[in-house]
């Protein structure tokens, strides 16, 4: 085959998106064409750069308004008497009053500090026992661009090696009778189920699943719709998919 026929396939070749027989054609051409090998090397560099790329995620729509409202509040605070001015009130006090207030503070501060420590420890125990930091966030994207549902998965490592998977799914419709959703970790032809679940329809659904340690090396997270009588394998009805980055 000539370079002009092979060239359009090079992009798909480095991305691994060609059919096996097309890959063979590219390999055969590359063996005898240094120009296309050079071209392939440059495209391969782009793929390596893409490894550093963030996935196509968008911030939540409310975030911008939250920032702007904080700016508005900040501006109002600037126009109002500032905290520095309020603190300078001490400086305007007669010396004796200031001294007695400082004396009072010496008694009050240790109590406040002790109360603060107790509160921090209590909060730490409360949150620390409930929440571990997620190591990965997976953006789950629908198969069809116009589908109204989407989601995010957070993968929490557990000391046992298992991964706890939190699915936050939006607008995923009820699966229907004799059907349910199933989450899968996949790697090529291999797959491991992370568990099944259902949803209540519109709005946000929060689901917690547990996956075995082996799933840590599986790069893709799939959500499929399964039927109760179907095979114990991912069905063709793919709903959401995301790459574990």
Q: Which residues bind another protein (CB under 8 A)?
A: 7-12, 14-15, 17-19, 42-43, 45-47, 49-50, 52-60, 63-64, 66-68, 70-72, 74-75, 124, 128, 132-137, 139, 141, 143-144, 152, 154, 157, 159, 219-220, 241-243, 245
Residue 202 CB, nearest approach to another protein (Å): 21
Distances (CA, A) of 161 to 144, 155, 212, 237: 34, 12, 7, 30
Residue with the two structure tokens 């209590």: 122
Decide whether 63 or 102 has the Cβ nearer to another protein.
63
Residue 182 CB, nearest approach to another protein (Å): 19
Decide whether 38 or 91 has the Cβ nearer to another protein.
38
Decide whether 103 or 158 has the Cβ nearer to another protein.
158
Decide whether 9 or 193 has the Cβ nearer to another protein.
9
Residue 150 CB, nearest approach to another protein (Å): 13
Q: Which residues face 168 on adjacent strands?
A: 152, 206
Q: What's the distance, CA 167 to chain centroid?
A: 10
Residue 43 CB, nearest approach to another protein (Å): 5
Sequence-ordered list of residues with C-beta below 8 angstroms from that of 47, at least 6 positions apart, any chain: 14, 15
Cβ–Cβ under 8 Å, residues 10 and 40: yes
Cβ–Cβ under 8 Å, residues 163 and 179: no
Decide whether 57 or 102 has the Cβ nearer to another protein.
57
Angle, in degrees to the nearest 10, between helices 34-50 and 20-32: 120
Residue 88 CB, nearest approach to another protein (Å): 22
Residue 178 CB, nearest approach to another protein (Å): 27
Cβ–Cβ under 8 Å, residues 209 and 167: yes
Decide whether 8 or 232 has the Cβ nearer to another protein.
8
Closest CA to 194 of 208, 205, 204: 208
């Amino acid at each position: 085959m000539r370079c002009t026929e092979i060239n359009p396939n090079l992009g798909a070749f480095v991305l691994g998106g060609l059919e096996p027989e097309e890959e063979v054609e590219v390999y055969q051409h590359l063996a005898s064409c240094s120009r296309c090998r050079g071209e392939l090397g440059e495209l391969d560099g782009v793929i390596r750069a893409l490894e550093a790329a963030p996935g196509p995620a968008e911030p939540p729509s409310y975030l911008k308004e939250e920032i702007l409202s904080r700016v508005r509040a900040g501006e109002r605070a600037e126009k109002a008497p500032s905290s520095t001015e309020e603190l300078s009130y001490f400086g305007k006090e007669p010396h004796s009053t200031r001294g007695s207030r400082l004396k009072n503070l010496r008694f009050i501060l240790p109590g406040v500090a002790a109360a603060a420590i107790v509160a921090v420890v209590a909060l730490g125990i409360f949150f620390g026992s409930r929440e571990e930091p997620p190591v990965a966030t997976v953006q789950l994207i629908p198969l069809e661009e116009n589908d109204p549902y989407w989601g995010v998965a957070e993968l929490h490592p557990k000391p046992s090696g298992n991964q706890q998977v939190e699915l936050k799914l939006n607008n995923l419709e009820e699966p229907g009778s004799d059907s349910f959703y199933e989450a899968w970790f996949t790697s090529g032809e291999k797959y491991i189920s992370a568990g099944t679940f259902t949803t209540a329809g519109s709005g946000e659904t929060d689901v917690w699943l547990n996956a075995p340690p082996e799933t840590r090396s599986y790069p893709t997270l799939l959500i499929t719709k399964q039927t109760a009588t179907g095979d114990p394998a991912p069905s063709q009805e793919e709903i959401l998919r995301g790459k574990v980055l």
